[in-house]
Amino acid sequence: MDMDPIFVRNGLITFILLIASLSLHEWGHAIVADLLGDDTPRMDGRVTLNPLVHLDLLGTVILPLFNIFALGSSFPFIAWAKPVRVNLSNFRHRARDDVLVTFAGPATNLAIALVAIVVGSFLVAAYPRLGELVHRIVMMNVGLAVFNLVPIPPLDGGVLLRHAVGMSEETFISVSRYSGLAMLIAINISVVQQAIGALVAVASIPYLLLCGWISPSALSLIFP
């Protein structure tokens, strides 16, 4: 991989955006759990936007840097931050509140993409060079939301699946030990990458339509 200055600059921008997006994802889990009565995230110092407390060495640093600078990936969706611990016994409605906390992470990423597309649609008219940055923020956060909602333990989608099918917590933990490794292997298979890419493309359609509705002239700048 040619490590020219532009490639390094773009890679670092992607890495910074990824850290911010992952940190906000975990903050979303933490703040909703806190609001629903579980003080575990607050005791762990996770109800904060400080990215340092959310970082996972492998999932937030090593793997993304490898994907960006060794593989040249523009949108390294396969990344994760340190999971937020919750105590289900602190919730008034155990199953419902666990679902809300679980969905809060992907929902935060979708909200970030929404804010980016709304604000960006107005900004790129005056500053066209911001179009690429807005595009990255939108696609990265939509991609993270889609990836995390895949119904495979230990992803957020796997937690939602556990509640949907009535899977016990013990079974979920047991499956997670192997499914996480299998997922890391599968993601390197081209057909799996294409499937995730297709899901991200479909999920980004509402943002593309919104951008065109707010500012048609911004559409070609954000989604060339």
Residues 137/145, Cβ–Cβ less than 8 Å: no
Active site residues: 26
End-to-end Cα distance, the chain = 25
Residue 1 has pLDDT above 60, yes or no: no
* Residues 106-163: tens digit of each pLDDT: 999 999 999 999 999 999 988 888 999 999 999 999 999 999 998 988 899 999 999 9
User: Sign of the CA dihedral 65, 32, 176, 163?
Assistant: negative
Question: Residue 56: helix, strand or coil by DSSP?
Answer: coil
- Give the amino acid at 100: L
| Count of structural domains within the chain | 1
Q: Which domain holds residue 63?
A: 5-222
98-to-29, 118, 183 alpha-carbon distances in Å = 10, 30, 23
Name the phi and psi angles at 166, rounded to 5. Answer: 75, 30
Pairwise CA distance, residues 102 & 148, whole Å: 10
Name the phi and psi angles at 78, rounded to 5. Answer: -80, 85
Residue 48 has pLDDT above 80, yes or no: yes
* Residues 156-184: tens digit of each pLDDT: 999 999 999 988 888 888 888 888 778 77
Residue 76 has pLDDT above 70, yes or no: no
